[in-house]
Structure 1
């Protein structure tokens, strides 16, 4: 068999998956339809499992395909589909090109206790209701955050430079795109993770996949008994070391002439370098005298690891507690007297929500926190940038999960359902536009003390003008002024009132207090004669 062709085919497929996944995150002009994005993400393991739990349908059964592939061909998911795995291969490729030593990699012992303990804790914590460990360890979600918070800003900057140059020449094929800057804490965390992955893969190949990644550990258990896999023939092997040097998983032990199949990622790097035909990719055969067992002691460890995983799952009855955050109160800034004789004004009142606002389709904060892997796909796709990664808005349990940031970012577009259309885990369920427009994410709260109408005797009304459901209206106040009034039964918590409020955060005169469980708002009544014909508005 021409193993070099097999290896090149694997590389082409891997680059195709990587490119499509990357483009789904950096698609600034929304060229890729939501259906395409869903199909690309369909086969990502952890998101597929979480979505399947929600919908119980084969339409979300991408992980089943991965498991079947693992039984048949080994860990091809890790070598051709996982974006973080492919990213590591890129760093390893650079390291190999820069390396001047004859032997680049060599066999290293496994750390099964570490692998199985991390897998057990991740599964147990998820069953207990927390997805935090999955958020931190899932390879797809980590790759998504790299694409969203590090790669996309670079592409947006390049786009804006090109758009600016073209627009000076009266060419408008590109337009300037505003990208909200994520907090330094999130950017620093993602950058640190990327540097760590780059270092590990540069020095040790797929060490992250075979030591830390729970998906890799689980698929490694399945792949040990794969039907077609790399097999080492002890009769033909001369122990030249070429295969071990090419193995990015460091799993070929030439001293004992065995392969640790729980760590083999089916990259096929070892196959074309063997000139003695001692390594083959084949079905089991009577003539094959390879030692296909694991390293001495590993089989025993597998039984212990499986038992540890089972016990951790069944015994898990606790969950990380999310401590309530008390409503903060503090003194605001003092300002001079406003016009109109309004006299001395009291200090501003803190307008800080006690509960964060989750995206439409999440149903409840608890459900959302237990399912979202913080991959950043919805944040990257949000047209108004209102979705931003949380730091401590949900507590530690929801680190990096998206929340609605009305004060600093934007507001939820009344006619947009993009985040729910592309969410790969089912944490944000698809909503028909009619239902989305009545889903109450939170309720607007008016703080009269902070309003410029009350404090400065100045006309405003920005909140009322932007409210799509007319939950905020202007009512007579004093001295011919009007002041906002909120009908919370009509409010859907979209933030269109909070975002344009001219008072600086955290002293907004109107803000949205999140609903921990989403409700349905009343449908606004349309007044007769509310809309005039176009000809009457513009008689000329």
Structure 2
């Protein structure tokens, strides 16, 4: 007999225990893959920080490149990459959809970093309150499909970039990593570097994001953490449109988890660890649209009452259960079906109408972009037009975290409402390196196109070193040479294309100086001149007399306001960006004057 001592003195193991053991490796497979994706994607954001750089994964090594490839396995970036024409993204998207059609929502527990973060929060809550368990709960279809309908309406009306910016789970995780985890990692690195004599640990500068960006990221983290600690995967099954879309596909998946009534004893062990609250033990049903394939229920069942089944076997159980329903209850249940269906249909139409109304009311499709300040709309090379960039970029901050000079910073409202938390060039922080295109290499959505960094001068095609993303404007009235008769060549020394050079200039002191001169046809808008310019913004006491400048012949107009610019050189965005500049080798003027460099 099973479970008793045999004649040889051995113990005969219960066969149901063996079956459960053979199925339980699914959970460990899920945990292993989830740890790889979570640590890998987090490392892609933090590998620049020495204290968080794993010794066998140095910056620029193969480990870093592998972590970037993990970010491309996210659903929304793969969809946007496919729409951008990336063949790799199309293959990844096909694999993700195929896995969903085969095994259900494995993406949510295996690959999605925000989902894995919710599992971590839920596990911590279980450690703190081990006697508190979740129970089966009814779905909330009006919220799930309402959010999905709103996203679809935004995509139709041209507001996909705005909606995905707030709803894409990978982008939410990316902002949590850069805006919140990045400062904490730098603080810990600087703390260790101050007390360490190791040459590998160095102090790092931190460029804080705007307070609204910080507040929005902290709010999203708080919302996800509270919902996870309270109801497990509540966020995934009510708010996340990716989970709702994959849930619809999971309804027709070929293999699904299902109850085995012959083996199930209704002990309730499977219901307690279910973070999706989708196990209806009374009716022997599992809501496949909400099940995230964590396999905690499979591991907790020692009787083999839950297992993967072919979808035809699941369908065969439904008619058998309906035949057991008393005839008296059949009319009432059937009469309730049209009411529920009609209510769901009305709620779906209402949600769609709300989305279309909100999109029409906002009216920020393309006209708003032309009203933005051109000095604040400089995009990374390869972004193309402003409209294209705002539609494809989801603001995941991967390019911002991996920019070597941190000239890329998350925007607040500089790019408009659609550009909230999306990267822009901030030349007050740093400038774009002439031979670097790291932002395009790590972009998972294709919002920043990849281009060769350099090429032979006789070859055709667009390269990064000849792509104009902006153009500088030189204000003589702010230059120290014309204003204070000082010898300065900071801008000409830093210009990589020789667009800035110096010409003889007789100052008011009667001596000869070297005054910078700008050739716009050679400027690529890297911002090196603006960053190097020693002229700072006006002091508060100078604001009253800023409109009475007499150092130049014409009035300096900065943007749309008739006022003094903050520096002698200001970089302004151009649109579209994919335009090659003239070969600067044709005119290589020595920018160094006769006087010594004073800075």
Fold-level similarity (TM above 0.5): yes
Gaps of 5+ in 1: 328-351, 532-540
The total of aligned residue pairs comes to 502
Residues 368 and 104 of structure 1: CA distance in aligned 2, closer, same or farther (over 3 Å)? same
Q: Does 1:472 align with 2:532?
A: no
Is 2:121 the counterpart of 1:91? yes
Q: Distance in 2 between matches of 1:300 and 1:83?
A: 34
Distance of 1:288 and 1:215 partners within structure 2? 26
Q: Which residue of the partner structure matches residue 524 of structure 1?
A: 584
SS at match of 1:475: strand
Does the CA contact (< 8 Å) of 1:66 and 1:77 recur in 2?
yes
Q: Is 1:420 paired with 2:440?
A: yes
1:91 is displaced (CA, Å) by 0.3
User: Of the candidates 407, 431, 444, which is equivalent to residue 411 of structure 1?
Assistant: 431
SS in 2 for 1:359: coil
Q: Is the contact between residue 501 and residue 589 of structure 2 (CA under 8 Å) also seen in structure 1?
A: no
Greater helix content: 2
Question: In the alignment, what sits opposite 2:240?
Answer: 213
The aligned counterpart of 2:485 is: 457
1:323 aligns with 2:368: yes
Specify which of 194, 197, 216 is matched with residue 221 of structure 2: 194
Does 1:8 pair with 2:28? yes
User: Which of residues 77, 84, 94 is equivalent to 1:54?
Assistant: 84
Q: 1:264 to 1:300 in 2, by over 3 A?
A: farther
Distance 1:252 1:359 in 2: 48
Partner of 1:376: 397
Distance 2:337 2:516 in 1: 73
Query: RMSD in angstroms over aligned alpha carbons?
Result: 3.2
- Are the counterparts in 2 of residues 233 and 289 from structure 1 also a CA contact under 8 Å? no
State the alpha-carbon separation in 2 of the partners of residues 236 and 490 from structure 1. 77
Give the C-alpha shift of residue 146 in structure 1: 1.1
8 Å Cα contact 1:366/1:516 also seen in 2: no
1:146/1:302 CA distance change after superposition, 3 Å: farther
Pick aligned residue for 1:113 from 142, 150, 162: 142
SS at match of 2:575: strand
Contact 1:43 1:65 survives alignment (8 Å): no
Q: Assess if the C-alpha contact under 8 Å between 1:234 and 1:291 holds in 2.
A: no
**Max Rg structure:** 2
Gaps of 5+ in 2: 1-18, 49-57, 323-332, 455-462, 538-564, 592-599
Superposed, 1:314-393 pairs within 5 Å as 320-321=364-365, 323=368, 353-354=374-375, 356-393=377-414
Change in CA separation of 1:427 and 1:297 when aligned onto 2, cut-off 3 Å: farther
1:398 lines up with 2:419 in the alignment: yes
1:477 is paired with a residue whose SS is: strand
**Preserved CA contact (<8 Å) 1:83 1:143:** yes
Give the conservation status (yes or no) of the 8 Å contact 1:356–1:404: yes
Distance 2:371 2:71 in 1: 39
| Rounded Cα–Cα distance in structure 2 between residues aligned with 1:139 and 1:477 | 58
- Counterpart in 1 of 2:548? none
Query: TM-score by structure 2 length?
Result: 0.77
Q: Aligned-pair distance for 1:414?
A: 0.2
1:430 is matched with 450
Q: Secondary structure at the match of 1:243?
A: coil
Residues 306 and 46 of structure 1: is their aligned pair in 2 closer, same or farther, counting only changes over 3 Å? farther
Per the TM alignment, residue 35 of structure 1 is displaced from its structure 2 partner at its CA by: 4.2
Report if the CA contact (8 A) 1:78-1:85 is conserved.
yes
Distance 1:50 1:306 in 2: 29
1:254-301: CA deviation from partner (whole Å, max 9, x where unpaired): 343322111110001111223443222232465986559999969958
